[in-house]
Amino acid sequence: MKRRKTIIIRHPMLKRLRDNLRLLIIKAEGQEFHKLIEMDEKLLFDEKGQPVKLTPEIRQQSREIERKKQALERALDKSICYCTVCGKYDKDMTYNTQVDKWYCVECYRDLPGNLKPEWHPEYPITKAQMVEFFRRLNKVGAKCGASFRHTRHILNDMGVSHNDQIQFINICKEYGGYNDAEILMNAQRDVYTDFGMEDEFNKMFYQ
């Protein structure tokens, strides 16, 4: 079962639109937060800046303001507007069900395993097919660029159906493989690990 999701936008114009929207929401939250702080100060201090005598009503109102502030913060914290770790708002984000927060793709990749939900992708290809696929993709590695051209070509050639190709590519995307080159660089190791072949992978590339 898929227990995390990544939202990727490639088109520069859509990306700008998304980033501006996120910024707008972040700014609106900031303004709202600031208003609440001012309300609280007006409530607790007189015109000379001296603390007023706290009546039960004032305490109650101040508590209510505090509650609103926390709710605002929590809402933004859980939103896709910015990365929980690096704070950037102009990134593709991955949702982590384990902690109910969004991370940018890079920060998510660097999270320790115990903060990531367990994820067991269902592969539409066999172990032997996976090995053959990567053997062939590595061969053309130098030609791999910012498309799935070689991936699609190899899977086609191996007789993997269109739907199964999409399913396999989607798993690779979860591992940061958004094109041929990234499938090799980012996804390959994780896919090998999923098939219980991490040792074989290490032998191929580190010995």
First-to-final CA distance of the chain: 34
Query: Which residues is 204 bridged to in the sheet?
Result: none
Quick one: which of 167, 143, 141, 173 has its CA closest to 155? 167
Q: How far is the CB of 84 from Zn ion (least distance, A)?
A: 7
- Min dist CB 80 to Zn ion, Å, is 12
* Least gap, CB of 166 to Zn ion (angstroms): 28
Answer positive or negative: Cα dihedral of 116, 121, 127, 133.
negative
Nearer to Zn ion, 104 or 125 (CB): 104
Which lies closer to Zn ion via its Cβ, residue 107 or residue 144? 107
**Exposure letters 137-156 (e unless 16+ CB within 10 A, then b):** beeeeeebeeebebbbebbe
Minimum CB–partner distance for residue 45 and Zn ion (Å)? 38
Residues that bind Zn ion (CB under 5 A): 83, 85-86, 104, 107
State both tokens at 94.
């991955």
